[in-house]
Amino acid sequence: MKIMATILIIEDDGRLRLALKENLLFHGYEVNDAANGLEGIEKFRIRKPDVIVMDIIMPEKEGIETIREIKRDYPSVKIIAISGGGVLGPEHYLKVALSIGADRAIKKPFRTENLICSIEELLSQ
């Protein structure tokens, strides 16, 4: 039996987080989730995932700060940044995320297939 990768979803929108989790579980991934960067870092340290899917704009600890902290301590972890907006628009935040170490950046809303393709690409590297 093939062991599937573990994905950590860090997303403050509960409905989106649940939808992503259900989709990834359906595709055979093991999934953990967190509602913000603080909780995400705690869950990351307990069980290091193969890929993190992380929103940028969140309460408690936002995505840019969280990416910076995780990449500083674990530079090889794969991170997919997702964003749907903010004051400056998602493109700005996603560009910053890529510049500090995110491996992929996806603008919300997105198709689950695009996320799965990005995860599979990162896992095959």
Phi, psi of 114 (to 5 degrees): -65, -40
* CB distance 4 to 28 below 8 Å: yes
Residue 91 lies in a domain: yes
Residue 30 lies in a domain: yes
- Count CA atoms within 13 Å of residue 116 on its CB side: 14
Residue 26 lies in a domain: yes
Q: Which range of residues forms the domain containing residue 13?
A: 6-109
- pLDDT confidence of residue 88: 72
Cβ burial, residue 71 (10 Å; 0-12/13-18/19+): middle
Residue 122 lies in a domain: no
pTM here? 0.94
Look up the CATH number of the domain holding residue 48: 3.40.50.2300
Beta-carbon count within 10 A of 10 CB: 30
**How many domains is the chain partitioned into structurally?**
1
Residue 116 lies in a domain: no
| pLDDT tens for each residue of the chain, 125 residues long | 446 899 999 999 999 999 999 999 999 999 999 999 999 999 999 999 999 999 999 988 999 999 999 999 999 999 999 999 776 778 899 999 999 999 999 999 999 999 999 999 999 98
